[in-house]
Amino acid sequence: MELSNEDIQQILPHRYPFLLIDRILELTVNEKVIGVKNVTVNEPFFQGHFPGKPIMPGVLILEAMAQAGGILAYKSNPEAAGKLIYFLGIDKVKFRKMVLPGDQLILHLSVLRLGHKFWKMQGKAFVGENLVAEAELSAAISQDKAASNGEEV
């Protein structure tokens, strides 16, 4: 299953400048998701990280992984419709290479453990064939309803 940016915005409450997924290339319910983040020189974080030497902050690579994982959890659990998915924890983080303007970040997440409300996933981020970051991420489906029509959440 592929998802466009418009499809993603129907699922995630995030909006510019914090929506960090451009497309979903592949999604297998309860198993895995592959997402894309096109990293452009116009990203607002490059102004301060770092002037003259722009590098995508590692924490934003992890956030992009978490957003892709949230899409997988949402699409895998019918009870998640209209609810928020919260990022709970992160383990075994490793940053391997820098992500620079012009790179295309490919995010692979696979389910390690899933439950009715709690998820644990293995995330790997690539630029081309190069592994740039990896981590284990945990998330939970909340009882809270997500805001609609682009309202702040």
Residue 93 exposed, middle or buried by CB count within 10 Å (0-12, 13-18, 19+): middle
Asked if 143 contacts 86 with a C-beta cutoff of 8 angstroms, the reply is: no
Torsion 33-115-6-37 (CA) sign: negative
Residue 108 annotated as catalytic: no
Rounded-to-integer distance, Cα 104 and Cα 61, Å: 12
Rounded-to-integer distance, Cα 67 and Cα 73, Å: 10
Rounded-to-integer distance, Cα 100 and Cα 107, Å: 15
Q: Which residues are marked as active site?
A: 49
